[in-house]
Structure formats: C-alpha cells, structure tokens
C-alpha cells in the first residue's frame, strides 16, 4: 500500500492510473452498537444476519402477528479498498427472499396512504413506491486521514444544499475492525457509533490488473485521444460507446506528453475540433470524463471551471492549470471552451489533502503537434459564436467515451 499511503499522507501529485490492489472486507456485522457489545447476542455473521432478517407482519388484530420471513436479510456487506486511489466502497447486497417479504409488507401497510409513503420514501431514499426494492446499495467513502494502522474515510450526502448525512469509518488494518460513526443533521439530529467485525480477502496486482480512463473522438474516421498512462501496458484497449464495446487499435504514444492515439472501426456521432485561439487565463472551460470509472456511474460527468495558469507543475509549458476537479478516471478526457472547442486534455491533479483547484491539462497546441507528427491533421474549428449549454452537453456526450483494458 506504499503508493496509496504516499497519496494520503504526503499529498503527492497523482495521475489517473487504475491498476490497483484491492482489499475486501466481507460478511461485516456489528460487534458493538452505541457502546453496547453485541457479541453476547449474536456471535457470528450468520447469527446476526438471521436475527436482523426475521420479518413479521404486525398489521393484524391487536396482539396478533404473521411471520412473513425467517432467514438472512443480506447476502453480504462488503467494504472494498482500492489501494491506488484510497477510495473505500461499501456494498450492501440484500437477500432476494427478504426483499420480497419487505415488499409485501410495505405494499400492505401503505395501501390506504400511497401519497404519504411516496413523500416519506422519496425524501429518505430518492425513490417512490413501489420501486423501493434495491438488490444493491453502494456508498463511496473518500479517504481523509491515515495514522498507524487506522485509515479514516468519509461519505457525505446532501439534501437541499446542506449536509444531511455524514458517515465516517475508521478501518483498523491490523485487526480488520471497522469503527463507524453515522450523523444526521436535519430535524431530530442524531449520532450513532458502532464497530464491525469482517473477514478480509486481498486481490493482489496479478489478479486485478485493470486500467481505465476517458477518451474522445477527434475526427469522423474513428481516431481518439487519451493519456498514455491510461493505455500503458494494455493487452487490448477497448472503449464503451453508447453501451457497446469496441476494440481500439493503438496508433501512437508519447510518454513525455502523456498522450496516446487510438482508432476504432466506427463513425462517431460527433467529434471535438481544436480551437484556433490560444487559451488564456480566466477562460471559462468545461471538462468531461468518467471519474472512478463506470462502476461508480456510467453517466458522463461534465463540470465547469476556469483556467488559472498557462503553466503546470515545475513550469511545464505544455500544461495549463485549472480549477475543475480531476479524479482517477478523468484521465484523457476533453477540456473545451464555450464554443465546444478543445483547449486541453485532462491529465492529472494535486492531492486534495493539501491543495485545492490545482489540476492540469495538456494544451491543445501540444496535442496538435503530437497528431501532426503521427500523420493526423487536427480539425481546427471555425466556429465564431459560443454554444449554449445543451449543445455543449450533446457534443461531449456524443464524442467522449469510457476506455479500459487489462494490463500485461
């Protein structure tokens, strides 16, 4: 975990390389809740899971009830650590039989007041009746601190622009225990603390060698650009374009610039042309990409910001510095101006532990030279007027792709 610890503790420059060592903590169940030891009640995952899974219908006559389900509530509760990014994913997998019992009970209980149920459930879960059955629930925790063998990470959910939930986990890498703190900040605020016990499983770099990032079309002949570090060592690069996978041929790379030229045998719906004007400080820009990959979300992320400097780290004149958040997975994505013209290619950012708004892109002028040296003439835009937001969004959606591969 040396690379990850360097990122968290030292605040080093990171690039969006997706090769990872994955540590998974499975079958996580509480051994303490609000200071009360629970091992006296249930001594294992199976005992706790069955205890919490029993589903009883009390909606009968006074003193009567019906046992709807007796069995496990969850198939698994997993905490996964990507040691390259430091991100911790909590994945809850519900048992199908329990979900069916829950559905039948909720349908009966709210039969005469569906509007009230819809209001309550939409507020707390973002869904409306009867679509509350979710097999999987996932949370992404961002690392905030590392000391000794304790890794801290936080998940925050906002409602109406203010903090509603703040979940903090402290993972003890030596004992495999996870300490939890759940805070709710709206009406009737509360705090709950607990401790979980899990089984650990590690997947080393020989088992999990996946690289992923972002790429974008630069012409209607199927040529794409991305970063060299995204495809470096790839057995076979692929792209996902409108839910279809396509093999991508590697045409050329430049390790110094960190650029790679790919080609696929399709005609894209759109492609991004290059700006004929030099980028300037305080220019408004837009970046598109797939931070954390499509496992986090397959919806293209589009963010706005401004250029702050015409040089990058160590006075790199091939880079610009900007304030758009760049995360692992954004690598190789396009950065365009208000006309939808390319001004830079996303490449890296500084650790958020010690900096804010220091992210870097490869200037389009350097990208043009790279393409010309590989017998590709970049398309220079002749647009005179800015695009509206809808047209910029459409251009980026139709020209930007998720790219991935297995590493040798």
| DSSP class per residue in 311-356 | --GGG-TTEEEE-S---TT-TT-EEE-TTS-EEEEEEEEE-TTT-S
pTM over 0.85: no
List pLDDT tens digits, range 138-180: 888 888 876 656 788 888 877 665 657 888 988 877 677 888 9
Q: How confident is the model at residue 185 (pLDDT cuts 50, 70, 90)?
A: confident
Q: What is the CATH number of domain 212-406?
A: 2.40.10.120
When pLDDT is averaged across residues 13-37 and rounded to a whole number, the result is: 69
List pLDDT tens digits, range 221-271: 999 999 998 998 888 999 999 989 999 999 999 999 999 999 999 999 999
List pLDDT tens digits, range 272-289: 999 989 899 999 999 999
Please state the domain extents for the chain.
20-203, 212-406
Q: What is the pLDDT of residue 8?
A: 34
Q: What is the pLDDT of residue 293?
A: 77
Give CA torsion, residues 41, 45, 48, 53, to 10 deg. -170
Q: Give CB contacts under 8 A, 24+ apart, made by 368-375.
A: 368/274, 370/252, 370/254, 370/257, 370/259, 370/261, 371/218, 371/261, 374/251, 374/252, 374/261
List pLDDT tens digits, range 351-375: 655 567 788 999 999 999 999 999 9
Q: What is the pLDDT of residue 266?
A: 94
């Amino acid at each position: 975990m040396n690379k990850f610890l360097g990122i968290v503790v030292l605040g080093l420059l990171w690039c969006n390389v997706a090769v990872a060592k994955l540590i998974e903590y499975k079958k996580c169940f509480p051994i303490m809740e609000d200071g009360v030891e629970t091992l006296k009640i249930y001594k294992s995952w199976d005992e706790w899971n069955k205890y919490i899974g029993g589903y009883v219908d009390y909606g009968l006559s006074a003193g009567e009830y019906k046992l709807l389900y007796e069995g496990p509530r969850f198939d698994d509760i997993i905490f996964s650590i990507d040691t390259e990014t430091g991100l911790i994913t909590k994945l809850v997998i519900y048992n199908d039989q329990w979900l069916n019992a829950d559905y039948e009970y909720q349908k009966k209980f709210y039969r005469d007041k569906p509007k009230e149920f819809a209001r309550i459930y939409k507020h707390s879960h973002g869904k409306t009746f009867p679509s509350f059955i979710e097999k999987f629930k996932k949370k992404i925790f961002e690392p905030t601190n590392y000391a000794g063998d304790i890794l801290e990470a936080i998940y925050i959910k906002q409602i109406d622009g203010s903090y509603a939930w703040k979940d903090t986990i402290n993972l003890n890498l030596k004992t495999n225990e996870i300490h939890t703190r759940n805070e709710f900040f709206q009406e009737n605020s509360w705090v709950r603390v607990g401790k979980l016990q899990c089984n650990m499983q590690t997947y080393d770099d020989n088992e999990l060698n996946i690289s992923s990032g972002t790429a974008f079309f630069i012409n209607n002949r199927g040529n794409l650009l991305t970063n060299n570090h995204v495809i470096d060592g790839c057995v076979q690069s692929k792209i996902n374009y409108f839910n279809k996978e396509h093999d991508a041929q590697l045409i050329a790379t430049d390790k110094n610039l960190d650029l790679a030229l790919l080609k696929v045998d399709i005609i894209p719906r759109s492609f991004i042309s290059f700006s004929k004007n030099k980028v300037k400080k305080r220019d408004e820009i837009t970046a598109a990409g797939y931070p954390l990959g499509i496992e986090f979300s397959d919806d293209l992320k589009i963010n706005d910001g401004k250029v702050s400097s015409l040089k990058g780290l160590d006075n790199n004149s091939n880079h610009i510095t900007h304030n758009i958040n760049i995360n692992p997975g954004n690598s190789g994505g396009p950065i365009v101006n208000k006309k939808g013209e390319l001004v830079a290619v996303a490449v890296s950012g500084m650790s958020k532990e010690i900096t804010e708004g220091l992210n870097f892109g490869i200037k389009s002028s350097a990208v043009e030279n790279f393409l010309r040296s590989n017998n590709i003439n970049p398309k220079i835009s002749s647009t005179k007027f800015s695009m509206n937001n809808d047209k910029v969004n459409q251009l980026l959606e139709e020209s930007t792709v998720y790219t991935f591969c297995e590493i040798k």
